[in-house]
Each structure stands twice: as structure tokens, then as C-alpha cells.
Amino acid sequence: MVTIMAAHKYYEVSENSIKKIRQTCPRCGEGFFLAEHKDRLTCGKCNYTEFKK
């Protein structure tokens, strides 16, 4: 299964740099972003969860 991501949701491009908007998963590494929910951040691949304070 191939998933196509919309790059404008995950990266911010300025004149000379590219910045990640969302956090990456500490378990899965680069390329896997955490989904933002009302009270938590979650990885869809490994189910890693960080609760917001």
C-alpha cells in the first residue's frame, strides 16, 4: 500500500531552509510523523503515544 503525503502539512519551506512542522516518532525514526490529537501525539505505525500536558 502506498500513501501519498501532502508535503505542505509536514514541512515549512522558506527562502533558504526547510523546517519540519510535526514531530517525528522516536521509535520509528525519520520519515514517520506523530499525528496531533486533542490530548496526545500518536504514531500510526508503532502506536507510540505522548500525552499533552
Residues 17-25: contacts with CB within 8 Å, 24+ apart? none
Tally of domains in the chain: 1
Classify residue 45: in a domain, yes or no. yes
Is there a contact between 35 and 44 (Cβ–Cβ < 8 Å)?
Answer: yes
Q: For residue 35, give its domain range.
A: 22-53
Classify residue 6: in a domain, yes or no. no
Classify residue 11: in a domain, yes or no. no
Classify residue 16: in a domain, yes or no. no
The string of pLDDT tens digits covering residues 6-53 is 777 778 888 899 888 889 999 999 989 999 999 999 999 999 999 998
Which pLDDT band holds residue 1 (cuts at 50, 70, 90)?
low
Classify residue 50: in a domain, yes or no. yes
Classify residue 3: in a domain, yes or no. no
Is there a contact between 43 and 25 (Cβ–Cβ < 8 Å)?
Answer: yes
Classify residue 41: in a domain, yes or no. yes
pTM: predicted TM-score of the whole model, two decimal places: 0.70
Is there a contact between 51 and 40 (Cβ–Cβ < 8 Å)?
Answer: yes
Looking at residue 20, its pLDDT comes to 86
CA distance 47 to 9: 20
